[in-house]
Amino acid sequence: MSPQIRPPEGIWGAVLLPVGRRGEIEWSALEEQLSALLESGIQGVYTNGTAGEFHSQTEDEFDRLSQLVAEFCHSVALSFQIGVSHSNGRVARERLARVASLRPDAVQITLPDWWAPSYHEAEVFFAGMAATAPDTPLILYNPPHAKRRLNLDEIAGLRAGLPMLIGAKLPGGDEVWYEELRRKLPDLAVFIPGHFMASGCLAGGRGSYSNVACLSPAGAARWWHQLREDPAGALAFEARVVGFMNEHVLPLAARHGLSNAALDKAMAAAGRWCPIGPELLWPYSSASREAVIELGTAARRQLPELFSTSQ
């Protein structure tokens, strides 16, 4: 790894797409969102993760989003990553070629997913992506809903041949999983789901591309600092966060068949920290306005620390 490349850590916030009444992206509202993310104190932002709707964007929208985020983040010295994922690996490679000149801190990559690749095909894919932009660090985005989930041995195999692979988003696991992570991938910046941030980072994770930051980026940033100052308190808070997710967020998916992206955008709308509603780009369903109001009320009742200016 080049000495100037610093593996990421901390709480990173998703750049979400504000969707207007006619189903278009509201770019001015997105600029307001970036300002709010900057002011929240999180360590960085990223585009086109689980809630970033990369699968619904046109290539023109992808380019405009990437340019807007890059220009903003460079102007305020905020770290940023660009997701170049696409179900078509060739399109993902073209996206990477176009954004490399924007100088992101890293690019996030999912494996092509129309037909889940074999491990050999995953190796070919990552080698091709690395060759396309050899000076750009890579992040493997491999969440629980990926069609091809790599195990730690497979990721270690990729890492051995790709020094520019500096991090990964993974779902986490039990004590045995984290022990293997520490042993097999000690230098990889592994990010875990936001609601398991405290326990995951104490066990070996480096941070989170955070669903909790969808609800309150400032609150998620304060929780990160609490983890350094009061680990026991941060773990106790995690139990309440997980309880809130199980009681109020996941049931929305069960009752209404909503995607993870819809759940994250519902939390952002419930958090009211930026001008965004729960709507997803066509043709995907979103949480109702009534559900968003109920979610916000429950969050403020059960997790007031996320919305307080002191913790």
Q: How confident is the model at residue 3 (pLDDT cuts 50, 70, 90)?
A: very low
Q: Which pLDDT does position 164 carry in this prediction?
A: 96
Residue 127 three-state SS: helix
Cα gap 126→155, rounded to integer Å: 11
251, two tokens: 């049931």
Main-chain dihedrals φ then ψ at residue 109, nearest 5 degrees: -135, 125
Main-chain dihedrals φ then ψ at residue 156, nearest 5 degrees: -60, -35
pLDDT digits (tens, 9 = 90+) for 187-230: 999 999 999 999 999 999 999 999 999 999 999 999 999 999 99
Q: How confident is the model at residue 5 (pLDDT cuts 50, 70, 90)?
A: confident
Q: Which pLDDT does position 103 carry in this prediction?
A: 98
Strand partners, 14: 46
Q: How confident is the model at residue 309 (pLDDT cuts 50, 70, 90)?
A: low
pLDDT at 99 over 90: yes
Cα gap 2→11, rounded to integer Å: 23
Cα gap 223→78, rounded to integer Å: 19
Residue/partner pairs of 86-93 with CB below 8 Å, 24 or more apart: 86/54, 86/55, 86/112, 87/55, 87/112, 87/113, 87/114, 88/112, 88/114, 89/125, 89/128, 91/59, 92/129, 93/128, 93/129, 93/132
Q: Which pLDDT does position 311 carry in this prediction?
A: 38
Q: Which pLDDT does position 308 carry in this prediction?
A: 82
Residue 190 three-state SS: strand
Task: Please state the rounded mean pLDDT for residues 150-166.
Answer: 97
> Residue for token digits 């009681």?
247
Strand partners, 25: 19
Main-chain dihedrals φ then ψ at residue 221, nearest 5 degrees: -65, -40
Cα gap 56→83, rounded to integer Å: 13
pLDDT digits (tens, 9 = 90+) for 55-72: 999 999 999 999 999 999
Task: Please state the rounded mean pLDDT for residues 145-170.
Answer: 96
What percentage of the chain carries pLDDT values higher than 90?
95
Tell me the pLDDT of the chain averaged across its residues.
96
pTM summary value = 0.96
